[in-house]
Structure 1
């Protein structure tokens, strides 16, 4: 698995895309669609995408593990965004010029404040020593996950006293199976992960329920896809119709470190789906808390999953908390 840092660069699509003036099937209130053409993107070809490692694009919210207060910490994605007045000027500029390329920001006045410990993502451009907005008018970044209400679902998958996180990943001992386990945050340093579960993005994987929410972290690039077809639209549309193709999309990890993506929506295909590839696999719970010298009484999710330690389930949706 390729380890990722706190990188939030714009990931190119596998194909050259075009904008259609039709309502988006991906985002509410978006009046246009970004669709793939038949032509492979030059960026993908230059990155040697045909020899890259294809992985499942997981539908969750992006997180990052890095140090805070001298210890490994989970960080949530938080973009700095423009004020209402600045956003109006920005949109007016785009409408008149056709792009955001020549728009000039006054970062001190045009961009909203963020929490004290906020940091920009690594590839954010700087101007006069300050992080500068991207082509969308945002400054991608991260904020450490404390125990505030707005980050309650992030908080439930980490225990800072023990320094561990609840992770969903392939089970090494059994191909085609998954496992829920505890992983030291120190072993996840400078990696990005996806938080998935009951209250994230409409829960496309059917994890947990409203009465007993269930959430996990998934390291990016951990679910490698096997036997992908030729990189053309017809073959990939057919693959997305197969059982293994019941995924949100594909991310190719290239040898030069770059990423290339393809979302179902680029091909006019629906997401979410009634049955997903991730929720079709058996999963084993390996959450043994006895090996940690700390009290997990206040960590509800850890405590509940520890009661199911060594149990195996037919699919993720079958793991129900008490």
Structure 2
């Protein structure tokens, strides 16, 4: 049985990729871009990609729910990165060898310090008892989100630690074509990874909220399924992203039967993101939760919206001092 939203799963691109020395379409600070070739990767074929469950790749920032101080808690992603000296050595090795293979890290000396509460992600490998960096020279990990944190204020806006709950956006159980905004016990989310999306995350591609009245939600990874995905073929996928109303997504993540995750991003196929209206932002939504919704930042507006249905997610606007919604 496939377990969605688990940190135990590994992620790989469905196509064989190559690196081009061109400005990244996704990150302004990245002077190279990863592009897909038309060959399906051996890993994808071995994972039986044709029988995998296709889900929407969400554009936000990754989170994790696990215990902290004995209670279910939201954690934010924090990669441990090399210091400047180690980074220069690493890049020099890559340029001279054409890959990162054979580079020797000293984990105790080569990496920047992280908070004492930092923990490595479950899938991070270990070397001599220490978490080992990936092929990009990063060690994926997490730090707990505290209510008073300025760095993680938008993460903190979607959790109510006193009530032990989180503000979640998910497909409605009664109608998979409709989303619902609900308050979910953190205990029910234990062990899951989720995506924080909203006004102040990743440029807000879904058009949620406003600067004056920001809106943020958590979405469990794998929760938004793609019902009629195209075949895993470069040209057919590219056409689907460009022409299908269902293709107005950042990418696809396939959940394979062996637990492997395979992905493709629009940027891998040379396509722009976002490129106008998005599938998620254009989906109808209903607000549920009764009094629980007043526990979150902006929750007073959500409380007044309880029971209302909107034709598009991006139409949900919170104004505690005036009219809510449209």
Query: Normalized against structure 2, the TM-score is what?
Result: 0.93
Q: Is the 8 A contact 1:51 1:254 kept in 2?
A: yes
Q: Which residue of 2 aligns with 1:249?
A: 251
Indicate the residue corresponding to 1:125 in structure 2.
125
CA distance in 2, matches of 1:314, 1:115: 43
**What is the alpha-carbon distance in structure 2 between the residues aligned to residue 213 and residue 168 of structure 1?**
15
Report Cα offsets for 1:113-150 as digits up to 9, x if no partner: 11111100111111221112222111110001012100
Cross-structure match for 2:229: 228
Residues 8 and 121, structure 1, Cα contact 8 Å, conserved in 2: no
d(CA) in 2 for partners of 1:186, 1:76: 17
Distance 1:57 1:305, change over 3 A: same
Paired residue secondary structure (1:269): coil
After superposition, where does 1:234-273 map in structure 2 within 5 Å? Answer: 234-240=235-241, 241-273=243-275
Deviations 1:270-317 (A, max 9, x none): 101210000111100102126x9xx83xx3323321121101111111
1:170-319 superposed matches below 5 A: 170-240=171-241, 241-289=243-291, 296=295, 299-319=296-316
Shift in Å, 1:174: 2.2
* CA deviations over 1:10-30 (Å, ceiling 9, x no partner): x22111122233322222143
- Output the CA distance in 2 between the equivalents of 1:58 and 1:131: 27
Distance in 1 between the 2:5 and 2:172 partners?
A: 21
Tell me, which stretches of 5 or more residues in structure 1 are unaligned?
Answer: none
Asked if the contact 1:287–1:302 (Cα under 8 Å) also holds between the matched residues in 2, the reply is: no
Shift of 1:5: 2.7
Whether the aligned pair in 1 keeps the contact of 2:199 and 2:207 (CA below 8 Å) is yes
In structure 1, what is the equivalent of residue 63 of structure 2?
63
2:144 maps to which residue?
144
- In the alignment, the residues of structure 1 paired with residue 146 and residue 215 of structure 2 have an alpha-carbon distance, to the nearest angstrom, of 19
- Name the SS of the counterpart of 2:252 in structure 1: strand
How many residue pairs get matched? 316
Counterpart Cα distance in 2 of 1:200 and 1:8: 24
CA distance in 1, matches of 2:200, 2:258: 35
* Other-structure match for 1:114: 114
Map of 2:43 onto structure 1: 43
Q: How much has 1:224 moved relative to structure 2?
A: 0.6
Could you tell me whether the CA contact under 8 Å between 2:5 and 2:220 is conserved in 1?
A: no
1:8 CA drift (Å): 7.2
Would the aligned equivalents of 2:56 and 2:251 in 1 still touch at CA under 8 Å? yes
CA separation in 2, counterparts of 1:20 and 1:132?
26
Give the secondary-structure state (helix, strand or coil) at the position aligned to 2:56: strand
**TM-score of the superposed pair, with normalisation by structure 1:** 0.94
**CA distance in 2 between partners of 1:78 and 1:8 (Å):** 18
- Residue 7 of structure 1: how far off its partner (Å): 4.1
